[in-house]
Amino acid sequence: MTVYNFNAGPAILPAAVLEQAQNELRDYKGTGISILETSHRSKEYEAINSSAEQRFKQLLGLGDGYRVLFMQGGASSQFAFVPLNFLGPNAVADYILTGTWSVKAHAEAAKIGSATIAASTKADNFNRIPRGDEVTLSPDAAYVHITTNNTIFGTQWHTTPAVGDRPLVADMSSDILSRPLPADKYALIYAGAQKNLGPAGLTVVLIREDWMAQANPELPTMFKYATYAANNSLYNTPPAYAVYMLDLVLQWIEGQGGLEGMAKHNERKAGIIYSTIDESQGFYRGHALPDSRSLMNITFRLPTPELEQQFVADAKQQGMIGLKGHRSVGGIRASVYNAMPIAGAEALASFMRDWAAQHG
Ligand SMILES: *Cc1c(COP(=O)(O)O)cnc(C)c1O
């Protein structure tokens, strides 16, 4: 039986990437040893490290002026890294709250300095992204923080918010490299790798160099972005195997037509599942409002929690795993990241139609 992995993270990886990693596991390019056993100071690893940085920037259409950093600690550590580096004593940072992760990011910043809520859709149980006229920015905000895709609630920004000259910071953990994006409008983008980029243990940070130069210089070495940039992320031992896997995933994305190709693929997949929800005559109820729907995490409810439990169990019998919604929202969540094939979305949609006919 084919297994389709709808886990939210760690999540599905492209089959071709796993095969290549398997083929190279015991003997990396004729060295006779595994990349798992290779020094991060070797020429083999340094080539991977610099290839991953270059490919990442190229996919986003960026050149000089930006750096890509390979860090650890997950997106959750970035919630503190950003204010530690950029939220000085007399400054204020603006946070737009669109779900659990942005609430956590804001709470960390508030421990370090002054962090305001520029907008929040909590009153609507985070079922949408705020409209431009709902956002109130501080005149001299140190930065504005958004979460581009809300993994738990299943909503996604479909535009880049207008923030004037204020530096824009985004947590893109669950939709990084899923679509084209005006990357040069961002001062800093961060993402835990385990959703769209590779295995857990790696956190990727894209940072504009002129902004990095303004960071707090007094921090401990490992808490400064500048340390990672000045040493090509090799100040200490990086998560080398995860960076190797990232480089393979980036090559796979290039082979799919880059970010344009990914966006077409992702729109088609999400469309297959959302149309099944919309055509179910109310049996499946989407959580997100249509204009805020995520192309990565599709959240919906069934008429009762008992039916939801049964749905998840029956889907698993058919090889579709990881469909249980996050404990804070309930219901069903289908995560359809870059690596999910069209066939996976079709299999789920067909299962949903049959299941609704039997239980509706
Ligand atoms: C998963 C996720 C996180 C948490 O990531 P960790 O790497 O586990 O710290 C943060 N933000 C978003 C948007 C996520 O999807």
In this prediction, residues 334-355 reach a mean pLDDT of 98
- Report whether pLDDT(360) > 90: no
What is residue 178's predicted lDDT score, i.e. its pLDDT?
98
For the question of residue 101 being annotated catalytic, the response is yes
pLDDT digits (tens, 9 = 90+) for 188-201: 999 999 999 999 99
Distance CA 207, CA 211 (A): 8
What is residue 188's predicted lDDT score, i.e. its pLDDT?
98
Cα(120) to centroid(ligand 1), Å: 19
* pTM tops 0.85, yes or no: yes
- Which percentage of the chain shows pLDDT scores above 90? 98
Residue from 94, 171, 175, 247 carrying the catalytic annotation: 171
DSSP letters spanning 271-313: HHHHHHHHTTTTSSEESS-GGGB-SSEEEEE-SSHHHHHHHHH
What's the burial of 317, exposed, middle or buried (CB within 10 Å: 0-12/13-18/19+)? Answer: exposed
CATH for the stretch 16-255: 3.40.640.10
Confidence of residue 208 (pLDDT cuts 50, 70, 90): very high
Candidates 3.40.50.300, 3.30.1490.20, 3.30.479.30, 3.90.1150.10; CATH matching 4-13+257-359:
3.90.1150.10
Centroid of chain to Cα 15: 19
Q: Do 118 and 136 touch, CB atoms closer than 8 A?
A: yes
In this prediction, residues 113-130 reach a mean pLDDT of 98
In this prediction, residues 164-187 reach a mean pLDDT of 98
In this prediction, residues 309-319 reach a mean pLDDT of 98
Q: Is the CB–ligand 1 distance for residue 198 below 6 Å?
A: no
In this prediction, residues 290-298 reach a mean pLDDT of 98
* Residue pointed to by tokens 């961002």: 186
- Report whether pLDDT(277) > 90: yes
Q: What are phi and psi of 28, to 5 degrees?
A: -80, 110
DSSP letters spanning 308-331: HHHHHHHHHHTTEE--BPPTTT-S
What is residue 340's predicted lDDT score, i.e. its pLDDT?
98
- Which percentage of the chain shows pLDDT scores above 70? 100
Domain residue spans of the chain: 4-13+257-359, 16-255
What is residue 202's predicted lDDT score, i.e. its pLDDT?
98
Confidence of residue 286 (pLDDT cuts 50, 70, 90): very high
Query: To the nearest whole number, what is the mean pLDDT of the chain?
Result: 97
- Report whether pLDDT(317) > 90: yes
Tell me how far CA of residue 278 lies from CA of 271, 287, 352, in angstroms: 10, 12, 12
- Count of other CB atoms within 10 angstroms of residue 111: 10
In this prediction, residues 122-143 reach a mean pLDDT of 97
Q: Is the CB–ligand 1 distance for residue 192 below 6 Å?
A: yes
Cα(8) to centroid(ligand 1), Å: 10
Nearest CA to ligand 1 atom 3: 75
- Report whether pLDDT(315) > 90: yes
In this prediction, residues 75-99 reach a mean pLDDT of 98
What is residue 328's predicted lDDT score, i.e. its pLDDT?
80
Confidence of residue 327 (pLDDT cuts 50, 70, 90): confident
Cα(324) to centroid(ligand 1), Å: 17
Q: Is the CB–ligand 1 distance for residue 100 below 6 Å?
A: no
